[in-house]
């Protein structure tokens, strides 16, 4: 228990969803936005995008830190939705959200989340990703518009939140639910263990 108490996490994200998930680990943590550039080359595949951006976010926070924070492990994460070969990020406006939900309805898509851990004490880096398949119900345009008007699609990859009202439009998933929310906790706990921070100690 002393080991857990002596180390803590810095979450390189302002996402309320990721904050709630990481709080479930019962490890002390603080929030430090990364403000990292999220542009990626056109030729990159989904796993490369999320792993690169997760590490970019964690590294950006690492560079901002002072020595007094050296006992931290910085966690960066990035999530994208992939429909066949199309990558769906966050909608730019309601019309974009309508387009995304309309394209996803009645079909199965993949959600990729990258996770990066940077040990501020040693500079060690671990980067991984997880993929979950999600099937959305067939929807009519009234249902699509109603969901978009709820405001929930704003700032969400793929324009929906599986943990909110979006649960009503999801038919099923194959894989890690928390990956779709935005932070695969099981994967993260394994990565933290490799760095000496054991969640179940």
Cα torsion angle, 183, 120, 55, 117, sign: negative
Q: Which of 130, 27, 31 is nearest to 78 (CA)?
A: 130
**pTM, to two decimals:** 0.91
For the chain, the structural domain boundaries read 2-194
Look up the CATH architecture of domain 2-194. Alpha-Beta Complex (3.90)
SS3 of the chain: the string is: CHHHHHCEEEECCCCHHHHHHHHCCCCCEEECCCCCCCCCCCCCCHHHHHHHHHHHHHHHHHHHCCHHHCCEEEEEEEEEEEECCEEECCCCCHHHHHHHHHHHCCCEEEEEEEEEEEECCCCCEEEEEEEEEEEECCCCHHHHHHHHHCCCCCCCHHHCCCCCHHHHHEEEEECCHHHHHCCCHHHHHHHHHHCCCCCCC
Burial profile 162-179: b = 16 or more Cβ within 10 angstroms, e = fewer: beeebeebeeebeebebb
Residue 192 Rama label (left phi>0; alpha psi -120 to 50; beta): alpha
Just list the catalytic residues: 78
C-alpha pair distances (Å), 17 with each of 53, 153, 160, 179, 201: 18, 13, 13, 11, 25
Task: Give pLDDT, residue 69.
Answer: 61
Averaged over successive runs of 10 residues, the pLDDT of the chain (201 residues) comes to: 66 89 90 86 92 96 77 94 92 96 97 96 95 98 97 93 94 96 95 91 74
Tokens read off for 135: 């099937």
């Amino acid at each position: 228990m002393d080991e857990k108490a002596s180390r803590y996490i810095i979450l390189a994200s302002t996402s309320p969803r990721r904050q709630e998930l990481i709080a479930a680990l019962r490890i002390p943590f603080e929030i430090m936005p990364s403000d990292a550039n999220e542009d990626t080359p056109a030729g990159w595949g989904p796993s490369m995008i999320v792993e690169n951006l997760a590490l970019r976010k964690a590294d950006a926070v690492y560079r901002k830190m002072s020595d007094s924070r050296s006992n931290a492990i910085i966690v960066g994460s990035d999530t994208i939705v992939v429909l066949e070969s199309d990558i769906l990020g966050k909608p730019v406006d309601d019309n974009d959200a309508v387009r995304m939900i309309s394209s996803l309805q009645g079909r199965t898509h993949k959600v990729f989340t990258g996770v990066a851990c940077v040990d501020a004490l040693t500079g060690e880096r671990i980067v991984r990703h997880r993929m979950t398949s999600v099937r959305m119900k067939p929807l009519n345009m009234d249902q699509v518009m109603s969901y978009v008007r709820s405001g929930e699609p704003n700032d969400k990859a793929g324009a929906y939140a599986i943990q909110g009202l979006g649960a009503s439009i999801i038919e099923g998933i194959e894989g890690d639910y928390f990956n779709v929310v935005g932070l695969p906790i099981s994967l993260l706990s394994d990565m933290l263990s490799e760095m000496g921070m054991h969640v179940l100690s």
